[in-house]
Amino acid sequence: METQKEHILLVESDPQVSEVIAQQTLRPLGYQVDVFESASFVIKDIGKISPDIIITDLQLPGISGKDLLVALYSQGIDIPVIVITPKGHETDALQAFRLGATNFLTYPIREAELVNVVEGTLSQLRKRKELDNYSQRLDQTNQEIKQRIHDYTEIFSIGKLFSSSENQQSLYEKLTNVATVITQADAAWLLVFDLNSGKYILRARSNADDDMQSMLHLPYENSLSSLIAAYGQAVSIHGDAVKRFNLYGNVQSILVVPIKHEQEVVGMIAVENKTPQPFNNYQKAMLEVIAEYAAMLLENSMRFQKLEQQLCYLQQSSIYTRIDSDIKNDLLFQAGMDLRGLLNSLMKNLDHLSNQSDRRLSLEQTKALNAIKVEADILIAITDSMVSIQQAEKTSNLDKADLNEIVRNVINRSQSITQVSRIIIKLELPLQPTIVTVFASQITKVIEGLISNAQKYSPPKTQITIRVEKKDGCAMLKVKDQGEGINENLAERLFDKKSNLSGNEVRRFGGIGISLPMMKEIISAHRGKIWIESGLGKGFTIIFSLPQEKTGLD
């Protein structure tokens, strides 16, 4: 079916001209044409007629076509106007264009020209209407986009609050406020299931009725909330159907969405209107998004409760662990003190035995007695070192330290053992400080273990070389002795706690210090490396490296 063509208004006082334009040309083409002989009737009833275009003769009796153009312009009426003027009077048409005319025709009227001018004018009119419609749709779309951007911004603001210092009640209130805004509702409320009472508690409301305000933080039950809790589905009700439910206030339309955690309804959020207009699908979708945020909030709340319990347990466990550590350290300190006292008593007895002149000892007995004294001196030095370790101040802070100074302090504490064993310590340190960021107490334990091992397995009158150097952005410590060494193929396995090595290879690394796997764990925690260079009969060298702090002297 063809669409009805446009409505044309013809203002012409000459019946013959009107006959040619309306009856012979335009109406046969399907146009609706109304003919007026005077412009005064057009000006008076133009609002009722509402034509698509106007064709008017400029030389009308009384009110002329130009007067009609002026009247239309003064009333703000924007209708395309085609003017008719005798041939040779084109200047009149030019003046009409200045007054707002769209096109013109000349006498005598030729049908082909009339059709072309009318069709051209209507074609422009159709395009303009299409542009106007498109512009209106674009404006409407822009408004919808702005509204959705606003809605999403409101929803995202909830997510930002999750990582802020806002308390849980503030988040509940934010959820209901946002629900009211994005659904354009008159009010909103939020229920949360309470495990202790087994009921749904009203936790927040926005623009709610005074009676509902008084129910805040109390159980809130009605047949609608019971329905949501039972079936776990969103419900939208409006009009007379709302009256069947016991709701506070003058509610004409309501939308309720369940809040779920692991398929269980742990709460519900609702929006209300005082008009019977139902909530649409977009509003329902937005409220479901808010319900998802509410579900995360409730889930996080449960997680925080569990974390608080775990934290309390860990804090208590930490206290017990620290007490156990203090007990071990205290026992080790007391054992060292007792052992040192016994060894000092032993040395006094040995000195007394050696100084007895009225008793003769054989050469072998004298050598044995001297050997016992030497070993007793070593044991006394070891116990002194054990006691000093326990008495040393320990730091639990990661801080900058001079590796050179740490090495010097360890050597000074172990000097007595070195002297008794007649071992030479060769210390090679850079002129400038070697700054590293470490737990100084832990790195000290590593160095003590390395030097203790070297002292234990170095033959008398041999040399231990301790060298600190800077290389490739790292600080390196090397401890090299002149002992027997170990098979190079087994060196790496000494770092493994689960290694099944036994015999001389394992016993080779000992002393009073921490184990080699423990050393590796400490150095690795400091982003460093530790390794062994050794071979049977080639001595034993162990090296570790640490990231070096740059100084203005490097």
The domains of the chain are located at 7-132, 168-300, 393-547
Report the chain's terminal Cα–Cα distance, integer Å.
93
- Please give the residue that has the higher pLDDT: either 111 or 245: 111
Q: Rounded to whole angstroms, what are the CA distances from 236 to 131, 177, 271, 430?
A: 39, 19, 10, 81
Instruction: Indicate if the pLDDT at residue 75 is higher than 90.
Output: no
User: Which residues, in sequence order, are CB contacts of 171 under 8 Å at separation 6+?
Assistant: 158, 161, 162, 297
Instruction: Indicate if the pLDDT at residue 324 is higher than 60.
Output: no
CA distance 18 to 106: 14
Which architecture characterizes domain 168-300 according to CATH? Answer: 2-Layer Sandwich (3.30)
pLDDT band for 321, please (50, 70, 90 cuts).
low
Domain 7-132 has CATH 3.40.50.2300: yes
Instruction: Determine contact, residues 544/514, Cβ cutoff 8 Å.
Output: no
Helix axes 281-355, 363-391, angle to 10 degrees: 150
CATH of domain 393-547: 3.30.565.10
Phi and psi for 122 in degrees, rounded to 5? Answer: -65, -35
Phi and psi for 439 in degrees, rounded to 5? Answer: -85, 105
- Report the greatest alpha carbon distance in the chain: 170
263 CB-contact burial (10 Å; exposed 0-12 / middle 13-18 / buried 19+): exposed
CA distance 430 to 466: 12
CA distance 374 to 347: 10
* % residues pLDDT > 70 (the chain): 77
pLDDT score recorded for residue 506? 47
pLDDT score recorded for residue 293? 80
Instruction: Indicate if the pLDDT at residue 404 is higher than 90.
Output: yes
163 CB-contact burial (10 Å; exposed 0-12 / middle 13-18 / buried 19+): exposed
Which residue type is seen at 489? N
Burial 1-34 (b: 16+ CB within 10 A, else e): eeeeebebbbbbeeeebbebbbeebbeeeebebe
CA distance 37 to 11: 6
Instruction: Indicate if the pLDDT at residue 64 is higher than 90.
Output: no
Opening angle at CA 367, ends 363 and 372, nearest 5: 145
* Among 11, 89, 15, CA closest to 44: 11
CB-CB neighbours of 81 under 10 Å:
25
- Mean pLDDT to the nearest integer, 94-100: 88
Instruction: Indicate if the pLDDT at residue 333 is higher than 70.
Output: no
Q: Hunting for tokens 């234990």 — which residue is that?
A: 456
CB-CB neighbours of 377 under 10 Å:
18
- Mean pLDDT to the nearest integer, 25-53: 86
- The model's pTM is 0.37
